[in-house]
Every structure is written in C-alpha cells, then in structure tokens.
Amino acid sequence: MDWQSGNDITYSIFTGQSALFCPIPAINTTVACRVLMKRHIGMGTTPFMRLSFLGGIDNLRGYKKYRFAGEWLLLSNIELRWNIFRLGSDNNSFLQGIGIALFGDAGQVSDSFDALRWNRFHLSGGAGIRVYLSGNRTIRLDIAKSPEGMGGSISFGEMF
C-alpha cells in the first residue's frame, strides 16, 4: 500500500500480487507465473509518475511505457525460463550462467472493478536472454511484440 497526502495531493494505491514458480529439473526449465492487481484512489491529484500504468519493461512488454492508465489494473505474466548453462554456487566467476525465456503478458486497466472483462485484455509476447552474474544479479534482454508494434529492452533483475 502507498498513501500520500498534502496541500493538493491525496491518493492511495493498494497492490496485491501472487507469483508461482514450477521448476522442471529434468529439462533445466522453470515455469513462472504472476498475477497482479492494483487499485488506485485519487488519480486526479496523483503526480504522473505515481499513477498506475501498464506498458513498458516491467509489466506489459511490447507496449510503450505509460501506454494504459486507470484506477483498476489487472496483469498476468507467464514465462518459460530455460537455463542454457549455470555454474555452481562455489564458482568465483563474474558470469554465473546464461538462459533464455519465452513470455506472454496480458493486462487491462479500468475506471471501475465492474468494468474489468475477459475480452478487454491487451496481449503481448516475446523472447529474451538472461545473463546471470555473481551476487544473484540478472541482466534481461527482451524483445516483445504487441498489436501496436515491436520493441526491445535491457533491464536488471527478473521481472518477478
């Protein structure tokens, strides 16, 4: 939860999310899923950077950052993560491994909970490379496609 109040600013953001990770050791793969829901109260007085958005490298990849905004936000992601190679934890190398991922994202925003509908999801999907570094750090290189176009991104850390 995030809450801010001031002279002309009063808003609250409530966020709930759940993630599930299912490792498949036989093929060096993990299926990762996330569902996220946000409720934003006071959008008219909220600074732009604190609004609830879909689009960009951390939620609905394939759409431009800040593409969709609303009081209610619902997002789901699924990733199939393959480890190409992984060094042991006792290895002192800076590079700890390389992986690839296939992913799909679905999300929507609405001005009311009642307006959230199964047929209103915006979809995107793509693939990426994961570079695992010492200190449990990850570099993500993703390419995603949506009905509005294609885009690429470089970011640090897994999305979820």
- Domains of the chain, residue spans: 2-156
pLDDT value, residue 39: 94
Q: Lowest-confidence range among 20-29, 39-48, 94-103, 149-158?
A: 39-48
Q: Domain 2-156 carries which CATH code? A: 2.40.160.50
- What is this structure's pTM? 0.88
- pLDDT, one tens digit per residue, over 124-158 is 999 999 999 998 899 999 999 999 999 999 999 99
85-105 as b/e: b if 16+ CB within 10 A: eeeeeeeeeeebbebebebbb
Indicate the pairing of strand 149-156 with strand 53-54.
Answer: unpaired
- pLDDT, one tens digit per residue, over 35-64 is 999 999 988 878 787 788 999 998 999 999
Q: By three-state DSSP, how is residue 26 classified?
A: helix
- Rounded Cα–Cα distance for residues 32 and 145 (Å): 19
- Rounded Cα–Cα distance for residues 35 and 58 (Å): 13
